[in-house]
Amino acid sequence: MQSTIPMVLVASLGALAFSYDILLNIPLIAEWSTITCNREALVNDALLKSNQICINYDYLNGQQVFKYDQTIKGKLVIKTSSLFEIVPIHVNGTVTIKIPVSVTEQVNICYTIPDTDPLV
């Protein structure tokens, strides 16, 4: 018999549906409050981990930024591409950068690094 047990639920799906453990042939009483708390804790940990890569910075129009390049693999490699100019800034956490002359791309601010030392 095949049965998968997700980490969050700590019981098989059939056991939760029928209140009977499929593997051991014993009754099962699911504590839904514990399952909900475990799931919330996992989601909160994942959210904190993903938010750690964002830099708290106020971007300005015309500012130069670096963009993370997700295609570059390796630990010792610089994972940013060259400088790009911000055209407009959006309220949903994204900026539009000008790539060559007339091509633009909308990028989340978590994937940009501000150029704090411009050569002006």
- Residues 52-99 have pLDDT tens digits of 877 778 888 888 888 887 776 776 666 777 788 888 888 888 899 888
Q: Mean of the pLDDT values across residues 114-118?
A: 72
Strands (E), 49-110: 64-68, 80-89, 94-98, 104-108
pLDDT in tens, 8-24: 566 666 666 666 566 66
Q: Are residues 109 and 71 located together in one domain of the fold?
A: yes
Mention every residue, 6+ apart, whose C-beta is less than 8 A from residue 74.
none
Same domain, 71 and 106: yes
The boundaries of the domain holding residue 108 are 64-114
pLDDT of residue 59: 85
Question: Is the domain of 47 the same as that of 82?
Answer: no
Same domain, 71 and 34: no
Whether 69 and 107 map to the same domain: the answer is: yes
Residue 113 burial (C-beta neighbours within 10 Å; 0-12, 13-18, 19+): middle
